[in-house]
């Protein structure tokens, strides 16, 4: 088989019927639209939302304004919260990470990211890995000599 021998499938290249273009075309007078009436006119027919004269759904529904808090909540990050006072007895040799906090039972639950808040005194010389911090917690920990690593 050669490229020059390829032909389209039979009937796939049918020419478009041009209606209303003279007697020889066979599509004259009403051009396939039947008699008179709404559907014979240009643009005739019912819209996609027409419900037979019943008030359409877009007019039955109340007009709502703005975006609800519930709809906005899908873009909000929900953090599991740890306060500095919860880290009071933490071993300085073990880095504070999400896995370590969950293993120690300080954070309950599964997969939400963890944020450290600044309530309480900052323990000295801790290393943190892969956590989020409030501004107050970060400043207290920096003053106490903490080290931060990205996950």
Mean per-residue pLDDT over the chain, rounded: 91
Q: Which of 109, 144, 145, 116 is CA-nearest to residue 130?
A: 116
143 falls within a domain: yes
Sorted by sequence, the CB contacts under 8 Å of residue 137 that are 6+ apart come out as 84, 116, 117, 118, 122
Looking at the structure of the chain, the number of domains it has is 1
Q: Of 69-73, 103-107, 115-119, 142-146, give the lowest mean pLDDT range.
A: 69-73
**The pLDDT value given to residue 132:** 94
The domain of 104 spans 79-149
113 falls within a domain: yes
Provide the 3-class DSSP secondary structure of residue 60. Answer: helix
CA distance 68 to 99: 35
111 falls within a domain: yes
pLDDT of 140 over the 80 cut: yes
């Amino acid at each position: 088989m050669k490229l020059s021998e390829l032909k389209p499938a039979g009937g796939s290249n049918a020419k478009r019927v041009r209606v209303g273009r003279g007697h020889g075309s066979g599509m004259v007078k009403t051009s396939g639209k039947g008699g008179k009436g709404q559907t014979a006119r240009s643009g005739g027919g019912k819209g996609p939302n027409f419900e037979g004269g019943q008030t359409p759904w877009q007019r039955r529904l109340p007009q709502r304004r703005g975006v609800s808090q519930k709809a906005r909540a899908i873009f909000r990050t929900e953090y599991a919260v740890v306060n500095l006072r919860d880290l009071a007895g933490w071993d300085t040799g073990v880095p504070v990470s999400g896995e370590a906090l969950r293993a120690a039972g300080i954070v309950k639950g599964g997969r939400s990211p963890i944020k450290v808040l600044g309530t309480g005194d900052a323990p000295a010389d801790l290393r943190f890995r892969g956590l989020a911090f409030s501004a107050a917690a970060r400043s207290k920990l920096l003053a106490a000599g903490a080290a931060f690593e990205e996950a």
